[in-house]
Chain A
Amino acid sequence: DVKVTQSSRYLVKRTGEKVFLECVQDMDHENMFWYRQDPGLGLRLIYFSYDVKMKEKGDIPEGYSVSREKKERFSLILESASTNQTSMYLCASSWDRGRETQYFGPGTRLLVL
Chain B
Amino acid sequence: GQNIDQPTEMTATEGAIVQINCTYQTSGFNGLFWYQQHAGEAPTFLSYNVLDGLEEKGRFSSFLSRSKGYSYLLLKELQMKDSASYLCAASNTDKLIFGTGTRLQVFP
Contact = CB atoms under 8 A, between A and B. Distances in A.
A43 interface: yes
Interface string B17-43: 000000000001011010000001111
A97 B42 contact: no
B101 to A, nearest CB: 6
Interface residues of B, number: 24
Contact of A104 (B31, B44, B99, B101): B44
Interface string A33-74: 101000011111100100000001010000000000000000
A44 B100 CA distance: 9
Nearest to A33: B95
A56 B94 contact: yes
Give the interface SS of chain B, mostly helix, strand, loop or mixed: loop
Interface residues of A, number: 23
Contacts of B98: 35, 42-44
A101 B33 contact: yes
Contacts of A35: 98
A97 B31 contact: no
A61 to B, nearest CB: 13
Interface of A: 4, 33, 35, 40-45, 48, 56, 58, 90, 97-99, 101-107
10 contacts: A40-B8, A41-B100, A42-B99, A42-B100, A44-B98, A48-B95, A56-B94, A97-B93, A103-B45, A106-B41
